[in-house]
Structure 1
Amino acid sequence: MCVRYLGFVLLVWFPGVLHAQRADNSCSAPRLNDGYFVPNNETYAHGVKLTYACEKGNKPVVAGRWWATSTCQNGTWFHEPKCIDEEDCITPEIPNANYTTSPEVWYQDGHVFRVTCNEGYEPKNRAATTRCNKGRWTSVLVCEKRYDSCGEPPRIPHAVIKHEYKEVFAADTQVYYECEDGYTVERAEDTKSIFCVHGNWTDSPTCRSSTNCGLNEHELTTINRCGSLPVVRDGVVVETDRMFVKYKCSRYYALVGPQTVSCYSDGTWSEVPTCKAAFCSVDTDKVSRLKPVGVKFIEEGETVRLECKDEHWFDNFSKVQCTNGKIQLSRCCNRAQLSTNTC
């Protein structure tokens, strides 16, 4: 079996572990095969750190160095000092990945590791596996945001979100709002939840004061009543009027929500738009058939031609399309073939 678990080692050392958990929260000296540590004492007080290194041909079970530190915490070492074969690999660090094993599990040379990304993420370029090769993983796995996932939900004045904070929410996620005391949803038919649909949040509810039910608290007024203009990331103000502000998105971004924002008489802004990424990128240095000219950006729905580097053909290009945030590359063809769609 390729995977080695620290749990097995701990079972072998079980008597020592029991001995290590003292009433005064001190730790016994760890049993470290194929390595050595300093200071070399029989016991260590709570909070004390020791440093250890491994004999030639071995390495610590944690990442990044030929030595490691461990701390005594309430009678237990964190992490458990351990030396492994230098050609083994420790669990790769992959942000936004779902680990089903302990980070202190290690893998033998030749083991193939498969990543499982968190909800709302997917393996970049569909690369989901890497192999342990003489102590190093053959490739760096990345979990990137899915094109149909959503960022954080829109902010609603006088409301909170009944959901833990996340930077990315998977498609079809339902998020609930709750109005603060003294406020309620504006209309009886309004729901207190929104959904992530194809990368965008559905329309959000509005919380209004329940003490002013007979008044129209959302009468419009001049924008100076609301103070500083809302900031739209990747967007700019294109028009400012006494009663509204108009926005547009920068190139490669699409506007989601209303184009204009107004000021309510209670000092709050109406719904503020967001700018959603609407482009694809191609790193030509990493696509073997393309001439390396760096990263090229392509707008959503746009089709461009990138030059191929095949020396046996003249006037040779690949048709590149950006659809729903995904790149589609054709094989290399000449201009005539591309123009007649015979490529």
Structure 2
Amino acid sequence: MCARYLEFILLLWFPGVLHAQSTAQSCRAPGLAHGYFLPALETYPHETKLTYACDNGLKPVVEGWWATSTCQNGKWVHNPQCIDEKACFPPTIPNAKYTENSNGWYEEGDTIRTICDEGYEHKDWSATARCTNGTWSSLPICEKHHHACGEPPKLPHAVIIHQRYRKVFAVDSEVQYVCEDGYTMEGGHTKKSIFCMSGTWNEGPTCSSRPDAGHGGSPDVGTGGGHTTSTGHGTQPGREDSRPGTGHGGSPEVGTGGGHTTSTGRGTQPGGGGSSTTSGSRSVYASIDTCGKHPVVPNAVVVQVERMYLKYKCNSFYKQEGLDTVVCYDGGTWSALPVCKEAFCVMKPGPYVYGLDLSAAVYLKEGEQKFPCMWQDYSVAVRCTNGRITYTDCCTSYNHWLVSLVLGFTFQITILLLICFMCLILNNTLTLHSYSALFYIN
């Protein structure tokens, strides 16, 4: 019985195979101008390969001085063609896109303009390349943007959804985590998003095992005679001193079975020198629209506005302390603001040295600057350090260089003398100990 079924199947299958072979079309000999190919036939059966080369000054339309093409059901793949040897083939530029020519190659003198993929930027702001004598001159390089992030962190019992894998993510990118079955996030959530902010992902969620149905109870409510207490310590906004708070750092706990649960924490209110952290919960970031009006940082301006953070830059003559980015928490509060401290000195009007007399106040950045004296090629070197001013007499550029050289040499000599002095003391101490030991033996 099985043999009859097999015969029936073979009867149906063999004609199909023969029909497929008979319908596969052969190819006519390609029309190759300024070149030659082998074998030279009038027609070529399906899947036949031929090899071709080009005359002097020309080259195949693919890499190499010779090439092969295959007959595929009546068409040549690829179509044999000879082009100018000074033409260029499409370049491979990692992490970039550009418009490719329809004919598959570029003539000498053609220029391409590249666009970097999301999360990348052009190195040295070079975005174009030119075809010159068969090669591309200075192909653009797309490197990771300094504000982009790497791959999101791998979190236990969680997976990222609705996002294909990438090694680089642009600033302000969002990825969403979901806990596996049987696990949940804080607050009973099963999903949470994190964001790329200035090259760093904000803190991800923690997926914890769900409590079994027999525990019962609710947050902040003890069962079976237990009780819950929460204490904390906080820093008040706008003050450097701290005083005990009431529960700023605590977290909801559930006591069962006649026991009790105690939760302690330490928190810092946004705007008072740090971001809020607790022992039982994590800060959740929100869009900056949640916090409303942008906070004002004295002597600084906002230089970058993204969906999830602001970036500040101190004005000239000021230096920054703290992070330059500010984020918004889901409670509608801002994180710690940067501080811009003075980094300048003021030279008041009046005479300083013979030959230098200021008629108006001058503000100096930290470092050294030169002021011209009344004599040609003479100047005063003024240095501003931590708000204090030091300056030299009127000297020529050579004298300034010589003074700095002598000061540097003097410093080195002083260090050497100190080393020698320490060695001398050490040597004398060792000698004294030797004499003492010898005297004791005798």
TM-score for both structures, normalised by structure 2 = 0.39
Tell me: higher relative CO, structure 1 or 2? Use CA pairs within 8 A at least 6 residues apart. 1
Q: Return the index of the structure with the highest Cα Rg.
A: 2
- TM-score of the two chains, using structure 1 as the length reference: 0.49
